[in-house]
Structure 1
């Protein structure tokens, strides 16, 4: 049981982790992605191929910090590497499961879960935790793979809903109350202590294949001082998540 790999990886899409020195010091590896075009909010097939090429050189898939929620679609790349049946536990205020049929050839931060459910046969189930916004795929063939837990009263609710012993965890900090994190998206009401309790329970009872975290506050460099408190909250949340799973 527990997290299979303890490496900490930072993806440098947007230079935001340079504003979080304590977290940056904990990173075992940085992967440069900021110079790949067509990656903000959506990702072309060519950009995704280059992202995957650079990710393939990383040492291990422990816990990965992605950056802004604009890049949450990178979780799809991580999921596509898993070679055995698994469940995805997604802590997010949004479903990220809207099909992007009107954007052919693009993977977006709002469509990656729908693409994963449709295209990745090893994905047995998606459990959304804390989600209050967004639609779910209406494909009847994948309905049995979807579980919705908008309000997690106790970690046992989550454990009892899981069908696989191997788990991948994806966290967007917009699931958290604004008292615990500040993001560029509308936020939920989950408190950080609730998230940490759920993570403890998962780590103690399941095999955690990998974890990713996004939801950093995206601000221009000249305005960082205006948002210093929000950045501090986000770093505290990131460090708390790190301590909970290692």
Structure 2
């Protein structure tokens, strides 16, 4: 299963008011493991930042002046995400902006949902933790994902943090190492064969809550795609030949 954890940074909060995407960051997971492939581009907008947005992102029009526009990178971006499941926090925000950008690039690009299935981690977090704060920062704190190096909102950095949060949110799987500083991250990922031999696999049985979340997710996939390749319950599975 191929998944792309995605985040964007923008000049403001509303694409309807003409705000634009100024950064796209993506992290690729295959079978819930990072492949090391990422996609990150800064984009030159044709509008100014709204008050406060520049301070949040740490970006400026001067920095973005020589960066490509969306039309220059749209094909590369769509090639990277095509056919994957997009993991996005507060997906309506990012999808609205990206759909607007695709529309500006040409009607033949369609909408984001025509290229990939979208999974919203904010909706899942609200189901699991109703009435609590479920921002990315709040979830990092809840799942002990270190975001102390997050001085500004950066699309690639936030996608890396969200990858750790997503795995913890969906299965309790530990930190991928994205939350570590760069130097420590290399040490955490690089292992010699002898080191790997010492790793002991632990089997975690699904709880009733996990099974309910899994079923709800399959139902969402089936609703978006029109069908699901996976049966919703063991009783729905086809009988194996004798």
TM-score (norm 2): 0.28
TM-score (norm 1): 0.28
Question: Structure 1 or 2: larger strand share?
Answer: 1
Q: Structure with the greater relative contact order (CA < 8 A, sep ≥ 6): 1 or 2?
A: 1
Question: Structure 1 or 2: larger helix share?
Answer: 2
